[in-house]
Amino acid sequence: MLMLMCVCVRLQLFYSFFKSLVGKDVVVELKNDLSICGTLHSVDQYLNIKLTDISVTDPEKYPHMLSVKNCFIRGSVVRYVQLPADEVDTQLLQDAARKEAMQQKQ
């Protein structure tokens, strides 16, 4: 159990950040070059993402995704997450990062 705790007690920053984006529309680009646009349904401490109402943004060269409406994406395969800019408070994010850095030092 200790090992589990080590993983994520300290890295709550992005989890906290993504939590605030739940319900917004994002585009997730994966490491296999697949881009998925959808509404962020939930996120967990591993930054696994659940999206609802998804559509593949690029021209549908991924036809196997046509019928998929909801998906669960493992956090480790995400390359980028494109966010709406107005939903992000950059100052707050900077502050959160500073706090996290301070915590890490201690």
Partner 1 sequence: MFRFQSLDEDCTLEEEDDGLIEEEDEIDQFNDDTFGAGAIDDDWQEEHKRLAGLDKKDELTAGDDESADPRSPLDNRLSLPPLGFSSSSALQSGDVEDKVSEGGLAESLARLILEADPAVAGVGAAERPAVPSPGSTSVFPSLHGLLSQSTSVQQQQQRLSSAPPPAPMLSYQQQQHLLRRGTAPIGQMNSHSIWENSLGFGPVSVPPGLVTHMEDSPLMSIIKEVGLPKRPPRSDEGPDLSERVPPPRSSSPVIGSPPVRAVPIGTPPKQPMSHTLNHQIHHPTAVHVRAPVQHRFPAPFPERLSPNTLLNIANSPLCRSPFPPRVGPVLSQIQRAQLLNSQVAGFPRGAPGLLPGGGGFRPFFGGHPPPHAHRMVPPPPLGPPNHTPIRHNTTILHPQHRRLLSQRLLSRGGDQSRPGLDRRSRDPYSNLMTPKEKDWVTKIQMMQLQSTDPYLDDYYYQNYYEKMEKRQEGERDSSSRKEHTTKLITPQVAKVEHTYRPVQFAGSLGKLTVSSVNNPRKMIDAVVTSRTDDEEKREKQVWNKRRQILYTVEKMYSLLLEVQDFEKRFLQVPEEERQTLLEQHKANTEQLCSALREKEWDNRVSDEQCVMIMSVRKGKRLVSRLLPFLSTPLANAVVMAIARNFPTLAKKDKQDQVLFWLVEPVSSVIQSLSSSLLTDLLQELQGSEGQLSSVLHNKFGVTLLYLILSEGERMQSSDPNCQLMDDNRWTELVFSVTRELLSVPASSLAPPLFTPPNLLSLFSRYVDRQRLELLQDKLQISALSR
Question: Footprint of partner 1 on this chain (CB under 8 A)?
Answer: 1-5, 7-9, 12-13, 16-17, 19-20, 22-23, 39, 41-45, 50, 52-53, 69-70, 72, 89, 91-93, 95-96, 98-100, 102-103
| Residue written as token pair 């980028």 | 80
Going by C-alpha positions, the residue among 9, 1, 11 that lies closest to residue 100 is 11
Please, what is the minimum distance in Å from the beta carbon of residue 69 to partner 1? 7
Q: Return the number of the residue (61 or 105) whose C-beta is nearest partner 1.
A: 105
Q: Return the number of the residue (72 or 80) whose C-beta is nearest partner 1.
A: 72
Please, what is the minimum distance in Å from the beta carbon of residue 23 to partner 1? 5
Q: Return the number of the residue (33 or 53) whose C-beta is nearest partner 1.
A: 53
Q: How many Å apart are CA 67 and CA 60, to the nearest integer?
A: 12
Q: How many Å apart are CA 12 and CA 62, to the nearest integer?
A: 33
Task: Return the half-sphere exposure (C-beta side, CA atoms, 13 A cut-off) of residue 8.
Answer: 13
Q: Return the number of the residue (5 or 66) whose C-beta is nearest partner 1.
A: 5
Please, what is the minimum distance in Å from the beta carbon of residue 32 to partner 1? 21
Q: How many Å apart are CA 18 and CA 24, to the nearest integer?
A: 10
**Residue 47 · residue 78 · CB < 8 Å:** yes
